[in-house]
Structure 1
Amino acid sequence: MHTTDTGVTAETTTTPATEGAKTSATTVSATTPGQLRVIKRNGTVVPYDEGKIAVAMTKAFLAVEGGTAAASSRVHETVAGLTEQISATFKRRMPSGGTIHIEDVQDQVELTLMRGGEHKVARDYVLYREEHARLRADTKQSEADSKYPSVKVTLADGSTAPLDMARVRTIVSEACAGLTDVDADAILDEAMRNLYDGVSLDDVNTSLVITARTLVEKEPNYSFATARLLLDKLRTEALNRLGTATSATQEEMTEVYPKAFASYIKLGVRLELLAENLLSYDLEKLGQALLPERDLQFTYLGLQTLYDRYFIHTEEGVRIELPQVFFMRVAMGLAIEEENKEERAIEFYQLLSSFDYMSSTPTLFNAGTLRPQLSSCYLTTVPDDLHGIYGAMQDNAMLSKWAGGLGNDWTPVRGLGSYIKGTNGKSQGVVPFLKVANDTAVAVNQGGKRKGAVCAYLETWHIDVEEFLDLRKNTGDDRRRTHDMNTANWVPDLFMKRVFEDKEWTLFSPNDVPDLHDLYGTAFEERYAEYEAKAAAGEIKLAKKVKAVDLWRKMLGMLFETGHPWITFKDSCNLRSPQQHVGVVHSSNLCTEITLNTKANDEIAVCNLGSVNLAQHVVDGKLDNAKLEKTIKTAVRMLDNVIDINYYSVEAARTSNMRHRPVGLGLMGFQDAIYKMGIAYGSDEAVEFADRSMEAISYHAIESSSELAAERGAYSTFEGSLWDQGILPIDSIKKLVESRGPNFIEVDRSQTLDWDGLRAKVKQQGMRNSNVMAIAPTATIANITGVSQSIEPTYQNLYVKSNLSGEFTVVNPYLVHDLKDRGLWDSVMVNDLKYYEGSVQKIDRIPADLKAKYSTAFEIEPRWIVDAASRRQKWIDQAQSLNLYIGEANGKKLDITYRMAWFRGLKTTYYLRALAATSTEKSTIETGTMNAVSATAPAASSAAAAPQAAPQAAPVPKACSLDDPDCEACQ
């Protein structure tokens, strides 16, 4: 069928648009008032000519009905009548004349044909318009692409072919779709300048990714665009190996994903990468449940992290997973023992892929594989005999091999100089064995995925504690140093009281005071005083008196100098433990959030982690409690499933996990959540939100575990637990207050929910899990979901991140959008942020309210971090991985902060991040490189020593490297 535009070309001048017309910069040179005019697609304006409409419709009729004499006669009469109707319509709308766009004219032609009953002609007319619209778009595309020089690319087989510019433009357009302030042409123009004849297709994608990545510091939305460009590479790699397709655009993935998913499961099983039981699922049903649009949620860092670390790959290193396939694989692994496993797998998949909740790294690594080691943390007690010590080393190696983070309680091992009856000799103490543990962790690197990671705990009364404090020093006898292992003090309340009261403290070897290890609270204090009396009377030979304050100062000094040992509190962990009727908490884990019972040679405590994305549950500036409840109900079920599905490399771990069934539901994105609420981290409002949000999480987590108990049965040691006694975490604070005395603790105990009703439900139904909550660091899973990690304040508003693919800039999107709203975001602001290392405090044109809201971690007073943590701790049955940031650090600040942490009832602290009061002048700003690294920013997992002087240039500050095991071992 053939037709023409209903208009002609003419010279152009300016004219206003009228009803239904688009504004044009052109018009007819000679028109009269009251005349109708038509804007053509090229912008010219011509007189309205109904003869052109008649010709166009006549061609349409003849194309449908043929050119016989009878047909021609009917067509002539019909077209004349329809043309008159169309003209009458426009004259009625604009009796004084006006301008109509060509598309409006053609719309009216379609409508008149339909109303006149000429449906076949109307249909052909519509199809013709669509085809010509496509041809015009292709022509425009070709004209646009012609500005780029032709490039030949090298294909996988070594042959060359012209670069498919139409596809490249589609990929870039899809990457930018729906993103504000993102320019597809800017990416394409710069990327094309970097291409050359013979470039590989993979390098074409790399050029696009790098180009988009460099624009992130100017507009955070380019991070999403970069991720979407990276997706094209991921799709090509996976789909080629799966044999599903050679490549696919985002739009095509709706059709491709289900086929790729089924192929992936079958190939994974055949290559012995996936468990054979995954084939028992209805793969077609699960494939149809995949949501390709959720691929668009990733930031570049999130997607690159998945690709580098999480996606399953073949022996040759080819990734065969795509994001939604990955989430479904994890969901299938967690639902495999459910009765209605397809429905549960889809439920789990929808939660994970929404980013509302994320399982921990070991679960993401191993769910659905032949060795589903899904648990995050293992806690062990090392006994005081050689066979037991090396048995503990073997346990460490086996647990570390399958991605577990380790916490070892070394307190029972006798101290340096203590008598060994079997050999009639003297012990070398605990330190030489710690050196062996350190080297074991380094040797077992979890299949090349990451280094093994372990933390050694020692109680403050141990005779070797002073040497223990020195383990991470870079000076001294290297045979008595552990440069790769984390260390932590396990501090009794009595020691802290002696510090406050400036009294003496006595150190013992545990073989002389064996029961102190298992005592806490007033029982510990009474027995400790008895042993001190015996030492004073000469009945205990190996003992040493020190001033408690002197030892405390050395603890803080080593913490500042080396970052270790961390400070954790024995009594608050035990007095508030729901499981104190069956054992003692002797240590925490690698990241100090797990507080579970351990027994030498009997029980290795295990915890299974996952985190709610709090930012996803803030809607319209408020916490969406209904959504939170739904998320937690599914999350707790997923965590409980881990216990039964988990692969246990050590039998004592299975024994403990099956007996008590602990899980650790945590949170991440706290900083994002308060940004969305317009709250500054260092404020009473943020402390209150920490309280109320954790109260809601606690309530729903406990309720969900109780409901699971009603469905599946309570855990075996529920009877006699605090739960069984009707004592919830909020109630157990009373036990801590009674033990310490009111002068040594101050904790807010406000509450807002129906806790009486929940107590009754728990007593009636029981609990499925002995422990339900723990806040892990979440460094890598927070990166995956694109939010701030855990409960951390913003590290810096602009900095460099590192992963296995290199370094790249990260900028705080909330700050950028607030500055844009106030007209303050420009290249000068970007340079100012670089100059001031991500801080807004010294940028004069930023308003005071934004300076408060966007204060960085070192600019927030530590008391706000401690107060918020105290409010959370009252709701948590385990602990929280709490980093403390202290700017302009000195001995007094450290002393006050850590005393306050104990005084506010915290169970544990994690890393100390400290900056000394040093700074330098910077003379230049434009460095010409995105990847410059500031020497003033302390690595997030390094020693907290005073920083070096900054370089003269103003590079982007650097945050922690993802290759650091502490960043992900427990998350």
Structure 2
Amino acid sequence: MTVLHRHRKPDLDLFDKIKEGANFGNHHESKCSSATMNSEEDEFNCFIHKRDSAILLSSGTSTPGMITSYLTSSYGDQEGLFASLERVARCSSTGGSIGIGLQATPFKRYSEQQALAPVLDLFEATRNVLDRSPYPSSGTMALYLEPWHAGIQLFIRKCRMHTRSEDGPPRPDYGLMINDLFMKKVESNSSWTTFCPSDASRLTVSYGPQFEREYLRLERSGVGKYTVRARDLWNEIMDAQIKTGRPIILFKDASNRKSNHRHLGVLTQSNSLGGMLQFADQQETATYLSASVVLSTFVDTDGRFEFSELDRTVRNTVVSLNHVLAQSYYPDNSAKASAYRHRAITVAVQGLADALVMMGLPYESDEAQTLNAAIAETVYHSATDESCNLIRFHGSHPNFERSPAASGWLQIDYWDNPRISGRYDFNLLREKVTKGICNSLVTGYAPSNSSIELASCSEGCEPLS
């Protein structure tokens, strides 16, 4: 999903089709608090929903699956594995991407037969079949593992096979959730013990000091499968990254410490670009809906960035995303339950490099870093504030009372030295959040590679290439 150029003449026929399908339009004016929309043309110039064509292709159909991404976990037994495959097929049929945590997959079965390898092959075959299906769009697939799993080296070898050939069959992306203890052992070049999840199930659902205590207990008990030098394993990971750009690397401890979903459970997987961090397990398929704003459209003719316009557009986007969230089709009850319990949305950005060029700022300059921080601050403040305003119409998300936000925690509170410009009163916002917020998540860095052609801008926050 993306925000088109605010000064470009809109294709109103296309807008009518999208508005009819997603059922959003002028009736928002009576519901919107501080986000105002003056006309259909102005609304189109502010933003248009698109992410891998899921909304453009699905709106107006009998099954309008407009969710950007799904997250789930695979069971450790055969019955659960095939249930996971069915869930993956259902979610992918709507055009959404999906991330799967494989930490519960056994390393070997009873006869010492390798168990992880055929599971990876199954998901790879599923990805290939879905790509050839009659559905208008099938999203990407990402498989996640952790370095304590005894199948880690096999997993890395699979990463090396991840080549981006246009002619070959599509392959899943591979990602790692890496804990701090592993990085400490890499730094000290210590030994690293791997385990089968059948013997170490608590490692999946823990992080930080709790993970470290459990890992050391298992290591002392002698149930480890094999031991390697942590730095040797890290070099294998880096070699795969250099050659293929994979695996995606996320840091488990930092991700969980800074998550507004930490009260739900441990985050163990993400999507194909590592931009979606939500709790998901075998019973609940996490969902989120995304839109991105094109930053280059907020640079005026004098080379100044229009923060007030960015604020207005972000607020409009939050209002629209909440409406689409209610109108979307969900492939199964677990996805629908997650969407309604958490109402996770993502207001993202793209076109940063274009904006810097228009303002005459080198990409790596101090001025560019200051602008980038100010943009992120504006997007987060505006999205959070507008989500708070929307509780008058939608109420708080059902899990609000248990969330860190109910205690006044904002994302800036999770960082030691947040870069705050002083443009906004975060103390006032913090007080406002304690009274309720419509969405459990509101911002992130969503994939934009499929929408940059439509918006004619650079991808995400990446430099020009």
Q: What is the TM-score normalised by the length of structure 1?
A: 0.44
Partner of 2:15: 327
Deviation at 1:471, TM superposition (A): 0.7
State the distance in 1 between where 2:112 and 2:431 align: 56
From 560, 582, 596, the counterpart of 2:278: 596
Letter in 2 for 1:571: D
Superposition deviation, residue 750 in structure 1: 4.2
Superposed counterparts of 1:132-143, under 5 Å: none
> Are the equivalent residues in 2 in contact too, given 1:358–1:612 (CA < 8 A)?
no
Amino acid corresponding to residue 785 of structure 1 in structure 2: A
Provide the rounded CA distance (Å) in 2 between the counterparts of 1:428 and 1:485. Answer: 20
AA aligned to 1:327 is: F
Instruction: For residues 348-380 of structure 1, give each alpha carbon's deviation from its aligned partner in whole angstroms, at most 9, with x where no partner exists.
Output: 854563155654331222223221101110001
Q: 2 CA distance for matches of 1:338 and 1:394?
A: 39
The 3 A distance-change label for structure 1 pair 636 and 347 is farther
Letter in 2 for 1:759: R
Structure 1 SS opposite 2:204: helix
Does the 8 A contact of 2:26 with 2:39 survive in 1?
no
Secondary structure of 2:402's aligned partner: coil
Alignment of 1:816-831 (within 5 A): none
Inter-partner Cα distance in structure 1 for 2:181 and 2:403: 25
Structure 1 pair 448/647, CA: closer, same or farther in 2 (3 Å)?
A: closer
* Preserved CA contact (<8 Å) 1:362 1:375: yes
Aligned to 1:760: 431
- State the one-letter code of the partner of 1:762: V
1:381 Cα deviation from its structure 2 partner: 0.5
**Change in CA separation of 1:347 and 1:568 when aligned onto 2, cut-off 3 Å:** farther
Alignment of 1:435-446 (within 5 A): 435-445=121-131
Q: Deviations over 1:720-740 (max 9, x none)?
A: 211111110010125xxxxxx
Q: Please state if 1:785 is matched with 2:458.
A: no
Counterpart AA for 2:427 = D
The alpha carbon displacement at 1:405 in A equals 0.4
Question: How far 1:718 moved relative to its partner?
Answer: 0.5
Deviations 1:680-701, CA, capped at 9 Å, x for gaps? 1021111111111101111101
SS in 1 for 2:134: helix
Equivalent position of 1:375 in the other structure: 67
Matches of 1:504 and 1:576, distance apart in 2: 29
Higher relative contact order (Cα pairs below 8 Å, separated by 6+ residues): 2
Q: 1:493-508 maps to which residues of 2 (within 5 A)?
A: 493-508=180-195
Asked whether the equivalents of residues 24 and 320 of structure 2 are also in contact (C-alpha less than 8 Å), the reply is no
Letter in 2 for 1:715: H
Contact residue 377 and residue 590 of structure 1 kept, 8 A: no
Which residue does the alignment assign to 1:297? 8
Q: 1:511 to 1:669 in 2, by over 3 A?
A: same
Contact 1:396–1:441 (CA under 8 A) maintained in structure 2 = no
1:447 is aligned to 2:110? no
> Which residue of structure 2 lines up, in the alignment, with residue 577 of structure 1?
259
Q: What SS does structure 2 have at the residue aligned with 1:518?
A: coil
Q: Distance in 2 between matches of 1:342 and 1:366?
A: 26
Who is 2:157 aligned against? 470
Could you tell me how far apart the structure 1 residues matched to 2:38 and 2:279 are?
33
1:672 partnered with 2:354: yes
Is the contact between residue 355 and residue 613 of structure 1 (CA under 8 Å) also seen in structure 2? Answer: no
Point out where structure 2 has 5 or more consecutive residues left out of the alignment. Answer: 163-168
Instruction: Find out whether 1:520 has 2:207 as its counterpart.
Output: yes
Distance 1:378 1:348 in 2: 33
Instruction: Give the aligned partner of residue 284 of structure 1.
Output: none
Q: Which residue of 2 aligns with 1:614?
A: 295
Give the 3 Å change call, closer, same or farther, for CA 751–494 of structure 1 in structure 2: farther
Structure 2: distance between partners of 1:769 and 1:702: 8
* Alignment-derived partner of residue 727 in structure 1: 409
Question: Structure 2 matches for 1:11-410, cutoff 5 A?
Answer: 297=8, 323-335=11-23, 349-350=40-41, 353-354=44-45, 356=47, 358-360=49-51, 361-410=53-102
1:415 aligns with 2:107: yes
Q: CA distance change for structure 1 residues 326 and 569 in 2, over 3 Å: closer, same or farther?
A: same
Supply the AA of the counterpart residue of 2:442: V
Q: Which of 356, 361, 364 is 1:682 aligned to? A: 364
C-alpha contact 2:273 2:447 (8 A) present in aligned 1: yes
Residue 646 (structure 1) aligns with: 328
How has the CA–CA distance of structure 1 residues 452 and 443 changed in structure 2, closer, same or farther, with 3 Å as cutoff? farther
Tell me how far apart the structure 2 counterparts of residues 773 and 725 of structure 1 sit (CA, whole Å). 19
Q: What SS class does the counterpart of residue 405 from structure 2 fall into?
A: coil
Match of 1:534 in 2: 221
* Other-structure match for 2:166: none
State the distance in 2 between where 1:352 and 1:433 align: 46
Letter in 2 for 1:460: P
Offset of residue 347 of structure 1 = 6.0
Q: Is the 2:12–2:41 contact (alpha carbons within 8 Å) kept by the matching residues of 1? A: no
* Cα separation, partners in 2 of 1:358 and 1:676, compared to 1, 3 Å: farther
Equivalent-residue separation in structure 2 for 1:402 and 1:501 (angstroms): 46
Aligned to 1:770: 440
Distance 1:474 1:790 in 2: 26
Per-residue deviation, 1:641: 1.5
Aligned partners of 1:469, 1:437: CA distance in 2, in Å?
A: 16
Residue identity opposite 1:682 in structure 2:
E
State the alpha-carbon separation in 2 of the partners of residues 609 and 526 from structure 1.
Answer: 37
In the TM superposition, residue 640 of structure 1 has moved relative to its aligned partner by 1.2
| Cα distance, 1:343 vs structure 2 | 9.5
Query: What is the alpha-carbon root mean square deviation over aligned residues?
Result: 2.5
Provide the C-alpha distance between the structure 1 equivalents of 2:217 and 2:42, rounded to a whole number of angstroms.
Answer: 55
Q: Does 1:510 align with 2:191?
A: no
Query: Structure 1 pair 348/393, CA: closer, same or farther in 2 (3 Å)?
Result: farther
Q: What is the rounded CA distance, in whole Å, between the counterparts of 1:785 and 1:716 in structure 2?
A: 35
* 2:285 alignment partner AA: I
Do structure 1's residue 432 and structure 2's residue 118 form an aligned pair?
Answer: yes
1:581·1:721 contact (CA, 8 Å) conserved in 2? Answer: yes
Question: Structure 1 residue 341: deviation in Å?
Answer: 8.1
Change (3 A) 1:341 1:684: closer
Q: Deviations over 1:790-816 (max 9, x none)?
A: 111111xxxxxxxxxxxxxxxxxxxxx
- Candidates 338, 344, 350, aligned match of 1:656: 338
**Any idea what SS the aligned residue of 2:105 has?**
coil
User: Equivalents in 2 of 1:483, 1:636: separation in Å?
Assistant: 33
How far apart, CA to CA, are the structure 2 residues paired with 1:522 and 1:560?
Answer: 31
Instruction: Summarize the Cα distance change of 1:771–1:633 in structure 2 as closer, same or farther, 3 Å threshold.
Output: same
Q: Which residue of 1 is the match for residue 165 of structure 2?
A: none
CA displacement at 1:669 relative to structure 2: 1.0
Superposed CA offset, 1:413-443 (max 9, x none): 1113x5x4xxxx3352212111111111111
Secondary structure of 1:622's aligned partner: coil
Q: Is the 8 A contact 1:506 1:545 kept in 2?
A: yes
Q: How far, CA to CA, are the matches of 1:348 and 1:556 in structure 2?
A: 51
| TM-score (normalizing by structure 2) | 0.90
Asked whether the equivalents of residues 396 and 439 of structure 2 are also in contact (C-alpha less than 8 Å), the reply is yes
2:13 is matched by which residue type in structure 1? V
Q: Give how far 1:502 is off.
A: 2.1
Decide which of 373, 377, 390 is 1:691's aligned counterpart.
373
Tell me, in whole angstroms, the C-alpha distance in 2 between the residues paired with 1:708 and 1:516: 39
* CA–CA separation in structure 2 for the residues paired with 1:352 and 1:399: 30
Could you tell me which runs of 5 or more consecutive residues in structure 1 were left unpaired when the two chains were aligned: 1-293, 299-321, 476-481, 735-746, 796-971
Change (3 A) 1:553 1:714: same
**What is the rounded CA distance, in whole Å, between the counterparts of 1:440 and 1:378 in structure 2?**
16
Counterparts of 2:342 and 2:444 in 1: how far apart (Å)?
15
